[in-house]
Amino acid sequence: MDKNISPFKEKLLRILQCFHQFCVYNGLTYYIGGGTALGAARHKGFIPWDDDIDIAMPREDYERFLTLTAGKLSHIYAVETSGPHNADFKYAYAKIYDTTTTLIESAQEPIVRGLYIDVFPLDGVGYTYNDSVIYIKKILNMQNLLFAKICSLSKNRKWYKNLAILLFQLFPFVNEKKLIAKIEAACKERAYGAYPYVANIVGNWGIKEIMRKDIFGTPTLYPFEDLFVYGPEKLDEFLTALYGNYRTLPPIEKQKSHHKFLLCDLNNSYLKKD
């Protein structure tokens, strides 16, 4: 394992470390997900060309985490969700920001914040896989509309996704905040504990996010760079569902970050000084 990670990734690791310690202290369940789980399994840390961290929490733990932190994980880490006090935050999940940094991502309306990790809620979705697919499709349609409203065009994105973004820009009457509220309300309709199939509905993988709950199971520790963090109990099944043959590296031309930063400053805070 390469210990010489970049200062950017080192700061992400420290957010993750603080988050992990907070969850352990408060008895909160979480799982690393997406590329973070893939990195843990295949690289024992970050995917070399990846530059983010994804976390998933059962809805009850997710809501309790938001209540306990009340917007602040530590003196330098802020927790943010959608709400009337932050009109430019346009996601149906939470982010933890390093307030000592400044990061601006490419978007239709660039948002000025700091380096961050994403925290997604896990929700119940159905008694069977087919029932789950039918249930979340209406939510995914809303999520895709939100995505198209807030994302900018990218040469790294498939042409039909860029076309969808262009088309949806023709609908200025869509209110992102109201759309987020509808997405969150729909996600909460089925309790995580009441259904054998669950999903990170607002994640990146759509239908592939639907999993048997036992795949997440008992949170299990995995090495991630210089940390040990919790991930799905049946990690192989989890990663196979998302990526297929996940142990085979993608071709060189696809080994690149999907993020595009307009500005990344690791030494100066995005917070306005009085």
Q: What is the DSSP letter of 260?
A: -
Mean pLDDT check: name the lowest of 116-120, 164-168, 209-213, 240-244: 164-168
Q: What percent of the chain is predicted at pLDDT more than 90?
A: 68
Instruction: Give the pLDDT score at 115.
Output: 96
Q: What is the mean pLDDT of the chain?
A: 89
Domain assignments of the chain as residue spans, ordered by start: 7-265
Instruction: Give the pLDDT score at 250.
Output: 85
DSSP string, 3-64: ----HHHHHHHHHHHHHHHHHHHHT---EE-HHHHHHHHHHSS--TT----EEEEEHHHHHH
